[in-house]
Amino acid sequence: MFHLKFSEELEMLKQTVRDFTNENIKPIAAKIDEEERIPPELIKKIAEMGLLGTAFPEEYGGGGFGEVGYCIAQEEVARGCMSTATFIGAHQSIGTNAIYLGGSEELKKKYIPKLASGEMICAFALTEANAGSDSFNLRTTAKRDGDYWILNGEKMWITNAGIADVVSLFARTERGITAFAVETKTPGFSTGKPEKKMGIKGSVTNSITLENVRVPNENMIGQEGRGFIIAMKTLDAGRLGLGACCLGVCKEMLELSTRYAKERKQFDKPISHNQAVQFMLSEMAIIIYQMESIVYRTAKDYDEGKPISTQSAIVKYVCSEGLDKVVDLAVQIHGAMGYSKEHCIERYYRDSRINRIFEGTNEIQKSIIAHDIIKKNGVL
């Protein structure tokens, strides 16, 4: 219908990831949902494909495709399985990216090549019981002890925590919030049982408990007291990737719904002949065009080093709200079949809801946008 043209290299990436998703992810997506786990063999294949380091420079073992390339890859993976896309996003776009954006050169070389290759898995640990939307209110502490920091506290709702080898984790020191790369094998580090969720069931979500966890000073990400800035910059990229995932699912929903509408007959004709159904398909296409336009415009700005905090908040808000609308229309077009577990539509419907909550609720995104509008006197 409409195709956003990328460079030859990025078009090849898009087709390669689409083929990989069709062959390796889509056939087992329902099983991933039912068993609430991504098979280790699939994670290995994803790593071998380079999908755990798509955005990072080649000097760190990444694919060198930047944020645009990462969004392209996530769009295609999400078409097959939102749980798998969530795993990749938590690992790459926020977990590893915190080290890339804030870490010293030594820290980057220590971890990013292993994370990009899949030798290690990463998570991003900011959220706590009293520090969800109010992330500045975190209570986890880090106290200096010679060449080490002693960490104590608890984190909640951490994607990949149960399978991670290293976690980009935020704690409060005397100088403020500070980020650390914490290896999960460190004594005193433990995770709770996997959370039972409504959607994205295949992605592992756990709490983290830190009891006198000793972290070497060289594993501090950036400077002491600058962790909150690193967290917010990391989430800028995370929200972009989230938007790309929402876009991919929306495209999948439109294709499946159009195909079904042309095949399903009522009153001796395909339901695609009914104006009510046509209008629903039109709404889906309109939303997709809006989403695609802002995702890749913002990703391009990000790769050019432009500030995108407000833009990424807009992307996150528009794409997650748009996805909820599109999957609802897909269920409506499919009727009872869309409500049945026999069809993938109901899984996408469940998976979609979290996107308005994690990486900052949509209400928080509107606050970010409003603050910038007022600051700039309404000039965007």
Residue 142's pLDDT band, with cuts at 50, 70 and 90, is very high
| Residue that terminates a domain, selected from 206, 225, 244 | 225
If you write DSSP's letter for every residue of 68-124 in order, what string do you get? HHHHHHHHHHHHH-HHHHHHHIIIIIIIIHHHHHHS-HHHHHHHHHHHHHTSS-EEE
- Backbone dihedral angles phi then psi of residue 256, each to the nearest 5 degrees: -65, -40
Among residues 117, 140, 158, which one ends one of the domains? 117
How many domains does the chain fold into?
Answer: 3
Pair (62, 173) in one structural domain:
no
215 and 232 fall within a common domain: no
**One domain, residues 233 and 314:** yes
Within-domain flag for 1: no
Query: Same domain for 141 and 258?
Result: no
Question: What CATH number does residue 178 fall under?
Answer: 2.40.110.10
Q: Which of 55, 82, 117 is the last residue of a domain?
A: 117
3 pLDDT tier (thresholds 50, 70, 90)? confident
- Asked if residue 190 is part of any domain, the answer here is yes
Owning domain of residue 266: 228-375
**Is position 3 within any domain?**
no
Do 15 and 72 lie in a common domain?
Answer: yes
Q: Which pLDDT band, with edges at 50, 70 and 90, does 131 fall under?
A: confident
**pLDDT at site 137:** 87
232 HSE (CA, 13 A, CB side): 17
In a domain, 211, yes or no: yes
Beta carbons of 319 and 242 less than 8 angstroms apart: yes
330: which 2 tokens? Answer: 């897909």
Q: Quick one: 217 and 310 in the same domain?
A: no
Give 203-251 pLDDT, tens digit per residue. 999 999 999 999 999 999 999 999 999 999 999 999 999 999 999 999 9
- Which residue, 192, 140, 195, is CA-closest to 168? 140
268 and 165 in a single domain? The answer is no
Q: Which CATH number does the domain housing residue 275 bear?
A: 1.20.140.10
Residue 44 lies in a domain: yes
List the one residue out of 253, 277, 271, 231 whose CA is nearest residue 325.
253
210 bridge partner residues: 153, 189
Q: Could you confirm whether 359 is annotated as catalytic?
A: yes
For residue 276, tell me if it sits in a domain.
Answer: yes
pLDDT in tens, 308-327: 999 999 999 999 999 999 99
| pLDDT for residue 262 | 97
Q: Are residues 363 and 255 in the same domain?
A: yes
Choose the catalytic residue: 23, 58, 359, 363. 359
**113 and 126 inside one domain:** no
pLDDT in tens, 287-312: 999 999 999 999 999 999 999 999 99
Q: What percent of the chain has pLDDT over 70?
A: 100
Is 2 within the bounds of a domain? no
Is residue 304 assigned to a domain? yes
- What tens digit of pLDDT does each residue of 257-269 get? 999 999 999 999 9
| Contact (Cβ atoms closer than 8 angstroms) between residue 203 and residue 190 | no
Residue 1: pLDDT band by 50, 70, 90 thresholds? low
* Domain shared by 233 and 369, yes or no: yes
CA distances from 7 to 40, 112, 181, 253, 343 (A): 33, 26, 35, 26, 35
Q: Which of 290, 280, 242 is nearest to 78 (CA)?
A: 242
Q: What is the pLDDT of residue 357?
A: 95
Q: What is the CATH number of the domain that holds 43?
A: 1.10.540.10
Q: Do residues 378 and 326 touch, judged by C-beta distance below 8 A? A: no
Helix count and strand count (H, E) for the chain? 13, 10
pLDDT, average across residues 189-201: 97
238 and 351 housed in the same domain: yes
pLDDT more than 90, % of the chain: 94
Taking alpha carbons only, the member of 115, 129, 30 closest to residue 342 is: 30
Same domain, 250 and 341: yes
